């Protein structure tokens, strides 16, 4: 699909791909459609479309560039698809299939979603647009579910170590879930809040009757 792009711009870009060795900026479908556009434009009234297409493919240098760029774009897309899944993605799949405990944190699964968005972005797509598309296609269902499972597992593990009658603990745990930094565990965040956040320190002291 050309997506409102001007076929003439696609042709110019395809020429830079062929002559200057630039990476293709569009998908192979874009180049293919631009090729059809050239054939339609060059078709004479006495000629049918397949004949016109065959003629321009054989003789037109712009078409040569479009075919070259389409091949490059197709190869690039195939290379990305053939890349093996990362250990994080494999673990997310395993969590869904067998219900096993996640081996990574929610941060790790979400980082993987962002990394995949970057790697699987189509030509002309930004990572955020690719992220939205992949979410809609269901590509991140396993990673998101594994991230949620990892979060629950972490909260359960931390909660087990808490004194049963401590009324302050659930409040601190919930606050830590909201204020957890990138790469920080829940437990580390709770420690940090208890030692650096004045409000939390005062609340803790009050709850313990200090």
Partner 1 sequence: MLLSDLNPPTLRLIAAALQAKARFGMLGPGSIAKLAKHEPGANVEQALTFLGLAGRMEVGADPEPTVARSA
Instruction: Answer yes or no whether residue 27 interacts with partner 1 by CB under 8 A.
Output: no
Options 87, 124, 170, 183; binder of partner 1; rule CB under 8 A? 183
CA–CA gap between residue 93 and residue 13 (Å, rounded): 39
CA–CA gap between residue 43 and residue 35 (Å, rounded): 12
CA–CA gap between residue 48 and residue 43 (Å, rounded): 7
Shortest distance (Å) from residue 124 CB to partner 1:
12
Residue among 41 and 181 whose Cβ is closer to partner 1:
181
Instruction: Answer yes or no whether residue 104 interacts with partner 1 by CB under 8 A.
Output: no
Question: Is 162 in contact with 190 (CB distance < 8 Å)?
Answer: no
CA–CA gap between residue 86 and residue 119 (Å, rounded): 12
65: tokens are 């560039």
Query: Which part of the chain contacts partner 1 (CB under 8 A), choosing from 61-69, 91-99, 107-115, 160-168?
Result: 107-115
Instruction: Answer yes or no whether residue 144 interacts with partner 1 by CB under 8 A.
Output: yes
Residue among 31 and 109 whose Cβ is closer to partner 1:
109
**Alpha-carbon distances of 21 from 8, 171, 191, rounded to whole Å:** 19, 58, 54
Q: Which residue has the tokens 């565990």?
A: 185
Options 64, 127, 153, 207; binder of partner 1; rule CB under 8 A? 127
**Of the candidates 45, 63, 62, 46, which has an alpha carbon nearest to the alpha carbon of residue 54?**
63
161: tokens are 């170590």
Residue among 57 and 194 whose Cβ is closer to partner 1:
194
Query: Which part of the chain contacts partner 1 (CB under 8 A), choosing from 26-34, 79-87, 94-102, 106-114?
Result: 106-114
Query: Which part of the chain contacts partner 1 (CB under 8 A), choosing from 28-36, 58-66, 94-102, 108-116?
Result: 108-116
Which residues are near partner 1 by CB under 8 A?
Answer: 107, 110-111, 113-114, 117-118, 126-129, 131-133, 135-136, 138, 140-141, 144, 178-184, 188, 192
């Amino acid at each position: 699909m050309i997506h409102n792009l001007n076929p003439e711009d696609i042709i110019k870009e395809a020429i830079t791909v062929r002559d200057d060795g630039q990476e293709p900026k569009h998908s192979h479908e874009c180049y293919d459609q631009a090729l059809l556009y050239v054939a339609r434009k060059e078709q004479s009234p006495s000629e049918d479309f397949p004949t016109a297409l065959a003629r321009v493919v054989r003789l037109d240098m712009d078409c040569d560039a479009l075919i070259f760029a389409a091949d490059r774009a197709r190869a690039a897309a195939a290379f990305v698809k053939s890349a093996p899944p990362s250990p994080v993605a494999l673990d997310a799949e395993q969590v869904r299939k067998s219900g096993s405990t996640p081996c990574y944190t929610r941060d790790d699964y979400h980082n993987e979603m962002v990394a995949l968005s970057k790697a699987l972005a189509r030509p002309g797509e930004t990572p955020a647009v690719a992220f939205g598309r992949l979410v809609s296609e269901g590509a991140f269902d396993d990673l998101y579910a594994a991230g949620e499972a990892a979060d629950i597992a972490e909260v359960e593990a931390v909660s087990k170590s808490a004194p049963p009658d401590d009324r302050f603990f659930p409040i601190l745990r919930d606050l830590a879930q909201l204020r957890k930094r990138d790469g920080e565990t829940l437990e580390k965040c709770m420690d940090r809040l208890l030692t650096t956040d004045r409000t939390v320190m005062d609340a803790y002291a009050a709850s313990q009757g200090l």
